[in-house]
Amino acid sequence: MKILFINVLCGTGSHGKIAAAQAEEFASQGHEVKIAYGRDSKFPERLKKFAVRIGSVPDMYGHALLTRLTDRNGFFSRHATKKFLSWADKFDPDFLWLHNIHGYFINIELLFNWIKARPKMKVFWTLHDCWSFTGHCAFFTAVGCEKWKTHCFDCPQKNNYPASFVDNSYKNFERKRNLFTGVKDMTLITPSKWLAGLVAQSFLSEYPCEVRYNTINKNIFKPTPSDFRKRFKLENKKIILGVTNIWEPRKGLGDFIKLSEVLDPEKFAVILVGFKPKEVRSLPEKIIDIPRTNSAEELAEIYTAADVLFNPTYEDNYPTVNLEAEACGTPVITYDTGGSPETVRLKNSRVIKCGDLEAAKNLILKGEIFYHDTRHKQFKNCKHKN
């Protein structure tokens, strides 16, 4: 059986790791597997045998620039896509598994016309956000927009990813609805019940939709002692941790900054992981920044050292950082938004009202979410919710 995955990333980022894990699982069963990707070629060596790049770095930047100028994300990269589809014809997959197909790397019109010309090919599409059924944005909950249910226009999020100087959401909605509907044999997969509920209200409701929660590697994400606290001189402080792949407003960076202003620096340390070098310059001195890491082992050490993961996300599908932290024995405080509440399992974790920073502060100051045990946090016997 030949299986082709398409995702913007291969083995990096949350959905890139998910696609790679699926590919490796199918390959272990004897199937011939390839992962077509468009960005970031710094993936693990073991994945090179699967990787097929779509386009190049200049192609990606060109697509991004044209998107900024025209608000037509997904409708460029024609040459790169034609070249890729010529290769895909020769590979001749029995199964096609789409993941994130936005990100300035593939032409969705050419792609879906190719899919519809292969009616015998089984198609799966794992949705990691809402981009597939909107005229522009990947998420809309923070602004309370519901235009996507009927027809997008006058997009309130045109300045957010995929950012544009103009608004083309009306035409994008029309074109995406025509392209993404009518595939003969396609099943949608969402990592949360929340996203599945939105799909059911969209033009994609014609397809069967399955909820399959994302998983993590618990052989890596587990209580992992390290010298992290000693290295950062935090032996006698409570660590409030934040982790994300890209720090942006919807991930709650502003809330972390406000929180750091009210916590006693002699008792608490706010640590944020995931910044690029140029981003850390604007952070308050009270916040300790740690650069983005592709080492899951290092991340497990940081989770274990922390006393709580605070995830003040305003828009999210099914954040795996919550799963990773809890697997390392660290409780989570997260906002009641998107699929984030569906990730909470530890008894001491808490889901609070979206944007209720006061509630988060009180939980931290009262210490109700902390485990009172030795500094090394032996969490292997922690009780979980049923």
3-state helix/strand/coil string of 93-152: CCEEEECCCCCCCCCHHHHHHHHHCCCCCEEEEECCCCHHHCCCCCCCHHHCCCHHHCCC
Mean pLDDT over the full length of the chain:
92
Q: Exposed/middle/buried for 282, CB within 10 Å: 0-12, 13-18, 19+?
A: exposed
Q: Domain 228-366 has what CATH class? A: alpha beta
Q: Exposed/middle/buried for 218, CB within 10 Å: 0-12, 13-18, 19+?
A: exposed
Which tokens in the block code for residue 178?
């025509």
| Region(s) of the chain under CATH 3.40.50.11930 | 2-211
Residue 129 has pLDDT above 50, yes or no: yes
| DSSP-based three-state secondary structure for 204 | helix
In this prediction, residues 177-192 reach a mean pLDDT of 97
Q: What is the pLDDT of residues 289-329, one digit of tens each?
A: 988 787 889 999 999 999 999 999 999 999 999 999 999 99
| Region(s) of the chain under CATH 3.40.50.2000 | 228-366
* pLDDT value, residue 30: 97
Residue 42 has pLDDT above 60, yes or no: yes
Residue 373 has pLDDT above 60, yes or no: no
Q: Exposed/middle/buried for 383, CB within 10 Å: 0-12, 13-18, 19+?
A: exposed
pLDDT band at residue 383, thresholds of 50, 70 and 90?
A: very low
Percentage of the chain exceeding pLDDT 70: 95
Which tokens in the block code for residue 60?
């990606």
Residue 282 has pLDDT above 80, yes or no: no
Name the fold adopted by 2-211. Rossmann fold (3.40.50)
Indicate the pTM of the whole model. 0.88
241 residue type, one letter = L
Whole-angstrom distance, CA of residue 331 vs CA of residue 368: 11
Q: What angle do CA 138, 139, 143 make, to 5 degrees?
A: 140
